[in-house]
Structure 1
């Protein structure tokens, strides 16, 4: 008999990484991300601006706008990623679907915070996202077409790990600079990330997608590439809002 069906995740479902191996790799990846965070604060202009006492209103406004657009645009690519994940591992697809279900509408949390500082939904919708935001979305599409879903899921682990580690500090600062009632959406977003253990959830999906040592090497490379694109965005944000004229010319 001939069964031509494939790409449905059946066969040997034993993860390449044992439980101990997974924990060990996660610790290694977390250390790599910690190093990237240090590099971020050392090389990205005004990387800690939102943690300061005197937050520039245009910087803050545009940061919220781009965050909402990033969620809106990436959820399309991440939904497409679900189908590709399911072809490799139904278990990973189930985890990823649950994670996406929790994150899918979080753009509305940031849009709500925009309205609290006087930016209407109409103004948000009329603001085209930065090219750098589009490039991140385009990179996801490239990955799904030519390399697979591992890099897409890797992005979520990067941002969830960093958010859980650093977001509470930023939000505490914004309570003083922007006002606690004005950041309710961001607080709710952070609450979900922390209390639903989104880093752990995304890592559980990653474990099923890692099939060999080459995937581990690719995972590390993806983290580096995602940070590079995000840095391009934050540099653009700095140049458009905080930079002095001589800095913009440079």
Structure 2
């Protein structure tokens, strides 16, 4: 009689992609993200605002608030993802657990920077997240319930790749516009992403979750869907701050 126990990742532990194939696919995925970044700068309102010299104060503060909320809300879904990942691949689960351990409390880094620009913890807690953030959180729940954890992991690869590539440039700009002493939390967050190679760490989990070409196609699709949801947030942020201020009478 066969063992009835399933969903514990005890099947074939070999990966669909060998080391060379994994590196080749990752390069193609990175090319896709690079193209998405170009589209981002071309189509998202004020996409490069934080890289400029004249940063809108309300835009900056609200972005820090929302970033902290996103970490707080998404870490719940990402913790739930660990269970689903463990059912499929204990190797991927080990990597994901370590990654989440490193990222879990990073909301406090942004809250610390908020205090430096006059936004208290109480003000942060009183600010409700944007609808776009709630929708992203809901999408994570949908993925875990109906498609599996790959889409959740895809989000982390997207943001970690972009952060490592673009965040240093943004931080250099913020040193001039906001002041280096006021962005210590963001600098610490970036150092963790870069020095602990978070894109590489997340990719290691991705590799164990890809089982066939259908999974590869799904992963590419998730990257596009996540970018669309992120664009909704930045448009909402722009409309709530810069655009609103421009409409006010002088």
Which range, TM-score by smaller chain?
over 0.9
| 1:246 CA displacement | 8.4
| 1:243 CA displacement | 1.4
1:99 corresponds to which residue?
Answer: 99
2:114 corresponds to which residue?
Answer: 114
Judged with a 3 Å threshold, the aligned counterparts in structure 2 of structure 1 residues 111 and 246 are, in CA distance, closer, same or farther, namely closer
Q: Distance in 1 between matches of 2:196 and 2:3?
A: 40
Q: TM-score normalised to the size of structure 1?
A: 0.97
Partner of 2:133: helix, strand, or coil? helix
1:179 corresponds to which residue?
Answer: 179
Q: Distance in 2 between matches of 1:86 and 1:221?
A: 23
| 1:24 CA displacement | 0.3
1:159 corresponds to which residue?
Answer: 159
1:209 corresponds to which residue?
Answer: 209
Within-5 A mapping of 1:186-225 = 186-225=186-225
What is the root-mean-square deviation in Å for CA atoms of aligned residues? 1.2
Judged with a 3 Å threshold, the aligned counterparts in structure 2 of structure 1 residues 245 and 60 are, in CA distance, closer, same or farther, namely closer
| 1:119 CA displacement | 0.3
| 1:241 CA displacement | 0.8
Give the paired residue count: 248
Moved >3 Å (runs of 4+): 244-248
Within-5 A mapping of 1:44-55 = 44-55=44-55
Partner of 1:190: helix, strand, or coil? helix
Judged with a 3 Å threshold, the aligned counterparts in structure 2 of structure 1 residues 56 and 245 are, in CA distance, closer, same or farther, namely closer
Partner of 1:21: helix, strand, or coil? helix
Q: Distance in 1 between matches of 2:159 and 2:213?
A: 23
Judged with a 3 Å threshold, the aligned counterparts in structure 2 of structure 1 residues 25 and 247 are, in CA distance, closer, same or farther, namely farther
1:75 corresponds to which residue?
Answer: 75
**Structure 1 unpaired stretches of 5+:** none
Q: Distance in 1 between matches of 2:93 and 2:245?
A: 48
Q: Distance in 1 between matches of 2:141 and 2:176?
A: 39
2:141 corresponds to which residue?
Answer: 141
Q: TM-score normalised to the size of structure 2?
A: 0.97
